[in-house]
Amino acid sequence: MSDWPVVKGDYQVGNGKSRICVVTLASHFELASEYMKKVALIGPCHTENLGIEKIMANVVSNPNIRFILVCGEESRGHMSGNTLRAIHANGIDGNGRIIGSEGAIPFIENISEAVVKRFQAQVQLIDRTGETDKGKILQIIEEYHNKGNVFSEPPMVVQAGKKKRKRERLEINGTGDVVISKDVSLDTSSGIIA
């Protein structure tokens, strides 16, 4: 596992053999070295698109990870915790939109639906959104760091680069729910500006 994690980000790497990684949303926590040995990764997730993609790419490339603790304060506007729960429960639609997300731009553009499905099958979310009590977070890490078995499939290596997916041009003909100017409106349900 010397080439793991596969995608760089704003997180700390612990023990790649741990069963748990910790997503602290908009909060930041420093762990003592004894607890860093018990987590695969720990770090924030501020965005409902690239941040979620990085989490999924790093998780599916390490079958040791079976649990994700979602804690800390929610990222306002981006709603990355809500979006992580939504993609785990509902997946994505044909346009890469995360079904059920309340985030501003909840689109997956750099990873495939196969990665999403693998993520859904491989991990269980432990939702403690809003929890900032470090003692409670450490208790959960202690409980889950060696719980269960390695996922039954080999690592799924994902190249989550910054490629742009070509989107179809959609006309909303001034029917957006936010009018920016006479010629520009935003349809917040689809995230389309026209």
pLDDT digits (tens, 9 = 90+) for 113-149: 999 999 999 999 999 999 999 999 999 999 999 999 9
Side-chain half-sphere CA neighbours of 55 within 13 A = 36
Chain-wide mean pLDDT for the chain?
Answer: 88
Q: Are 172 and 90 in contact (CB under 8 A)?
A: no
CA dist 79 and 86 (Å) reads 10
- Domain assignments of the chain as residue spans, ordered by start: 12-163, 168-194
Smallest Cα–Cα separation from 167: which of 86, 95, 75, 110? Answer: 95
* Six token digits for residue 149: 């078995």
Tokens of 166: 């070509």
Q: Are strands 185-187 and 178-179 parallel, antiparallel or unpaired?
A: antiparallel
pLDDT at position 63 is 97
pLDDT digits (tens, 9 = 90+) for 58-72: 999 999 999 999 999
Flag whether pLDDT at 164 surpasses 80: no
The pLDDT of 100-115, averaged and rounded, is 94
**Is it true that the peptide bond before 154 is cis, omega within 30 degrees of 0?**
no
Q: How confident is the model at residue 2 (pLDDT cuts 50, 70, 90)?
A: low
Please provide residue 21's backbone torsions phi and psi, each rounded to the nearest 5 degrees: -125, 155
How many Cβ atoms are within 10 Å of 155's Cβ, its own excluded?
16
Residue 77: the pLDDT is 86
Q: Indicate the SS3 state at residue 108.
A: coil
